[in-house]
Amino acid sequence: MDFEPRRIALIKPSALGDIMHSLPVLTALRQRFPKAHIAWVVNRLYEPLLRGHPHLDAVISFDRSLGRGGCVAAALGFGRLLRALRRERFDCAIDLQGLLRSGLMTFATRAKLRVGLASAREGAGLFYNRRVDDRHGVAHAVDRYWRVAVALGAGVGAKQFVLPLAADAQHWARAALDGKPRPWLAIGVGARWPTKRWPPEHFARLVQRALDKFGGTAIFVGSADETMLTRRAVNHLSGNVLDFTGKTTLPQLAAILAESDVMLANDTGPLHMAVALGRPVVAPYTCTLVERTGPYGHYAAGAAATSVWCRGSYLKRCDRLECMDELTPDRLWIPLHDLLLTCLRHRQSA
């Protein structure tokens, strides 16, 4: 690409897992355009995770929750964001979200080059002047976003996931885990979609088996609205258990995952955060496909998918949920056992 942008806006407001999948694009852009000013436009909820990122010059955050104050408050807040984006004088805007709201953000920059994926929905593609084709074949989200980097001449090296850890969060996590027996198994039983929530009782059976075999500590994490799901699992467990569900900030969650030996979780943001941090994972896959949103790269070996007729339907709600019974804890025991055994051997040889 002959065009050398001076100011780049990377628009990926949410959600947590999608932000993790987008990290390689940011690093590729920094490597290709080392002198450019790069800003990430993100929902304020996720801004702490990007703060201090070595490849970012700025984070432009907005409060998505303003919409709860009514249509007028939402419109005024969104209008302020659009005006702020225009004032930044970006000459390249990249929309990795691909929805109407992010398309409007892209257009508001008035950038000379406005890039997005051809699969963008809700008319977002109307606001681009360059569309990157991502509609052929089944591709992982990381690889789909990477096509944008390639189109801009940036995707020439290996994909790198760079996620900074806040020093105070690291100190907190190490203090919280100090003295707890290893291996440290992080567990996330929640998920926003009911169809992605493997039953807490399944998690409990699997975790208890791991504790009985390897000892260690079960460390539950998640958002406050997942507290009851965690409690259902914890109530079936005996052994060393820590419950941080609803008790951590996002930087603290990242720090806990970075310290963990293995993570066991549904197809959710914390799972993909663990992968971005280089932690091995085990995950049940019911309504989503490992090929599209599974743990990326060689980490996909820890994913176990249902084989029911409607697998990979991406339905957010379902009255049947046959996959939950079909995908038994025994199916996930093999990858979990192998990862924990590897951790044990590494500790013994260290």
For residue 1, tell me if it sits in a domain.
no
In a shared domain, residues 116 and 175:
no
In a shared domain, residues 207 and 58:
no
Q: What are phi and psi of 241, to 5 degrees?
A: -135, 135
The residue out of 103, 125, 151 marking a domain boundary is: 151
Q: Which residues contact 141 (CB under 8 A, 6 or more apart)?
A: 18, 21, 292, 293
The residue out of 126, 151, 176 marking a domain boundary is: 151
HSE-CB for 131 with a 13 A CA cutoff: 15
- Enumerate long-range contacts of 235-240, CB under 8 Å, 24 or more apart: 235/204, 236/201, 236/204, 236/205, 236/208, 237/204, 237/207, 237/208, 237/211, 238/208, 238/211, 239/208, 239/211, 239/212, 239/215, 240/180, 240/181, 240/211, 240/215, 240/216
In a shared domain, residues 326 and 189:
yes
In a shared domain, residues 273 and 317:
yes
For residue 159, tell me if it sits in a domain.
no
Mean pLDDT in the chain?
Answer: 95
The confidence score (pLDDT) of residue 138 equals: 87
pTM score of the predicted model: 0.96
In a shared domain, residues 114 and 215:
no
* CATH code assigned at 15: 3.40.50.2000
The confidence score (pLDDT) of residue 1 equals: 66
For residue 172, tell me if it sits in a domain.
yes
For residue 341, tell me if it sits in a domain.
yes
In a shared domain, residues 133 and 202:
no
The confidence score (pLDDT) of residue 66 equals: 60
The confidence score (pLDDT) of residue 67 equals: 58
The confidence score (pLDDT) of residue 308 equals: 96
Residues in the chain, how many? 350
Instruction: List pLDDT tens digits, range 1-16.
Output: 678 999 999 999 999 9
Q: Domain count of the chain?
A: 2
In a shared domain, residues 105 and 173:
no
What is the distance in angstroms between the CA of the first residue and the CA of the last residue of the chain? 48
Positions of the chain with pLDDT under 50: none
Structure token pair of residue 175: 């203090």
For residue 157, tell me if it sits in a domain.
no
Q: Counting Cβ atoms within 10 Å, is residue 74 exposed (0-12), middle (13-18) or buried (19+)? A: middle
Provide the domain limits for residue 94. Answer: 7-151
Under DSSP, is residue 135 helix (H, G, I), strand (E, B) or coil? coil
For residue 26, tell me if it sits in a domain.
yes
For residue 156, tell me if it sits in a domain.
no
In a shared domain, residues 147 and 172:
no
In a shared domain, residues 53 and 12:
yes
Instruction: List pLDDT tens digits, range 202-220.
Output: 999 999 999 999 999 999 9
For residue 158, tell me if it sits in a domain.
no
CA pair distance 112, 124, nearest whole angstrom: 17
The confidence score (pLDDT) of residue 69 equals: 62
User: Do 304 and 335 form a contact (C-beta atoms < 8 A)?
Assistant: yes
* Residue reference for tokens 């990430």: 40
In a shared domain, residues 226 and 312:
yes
The residue out of 117, 151, 185 marking a domain boundary is: 151
In a shared domain, residues 125 and 177:
no
In a shared domain, residues 22 and 118:
yes
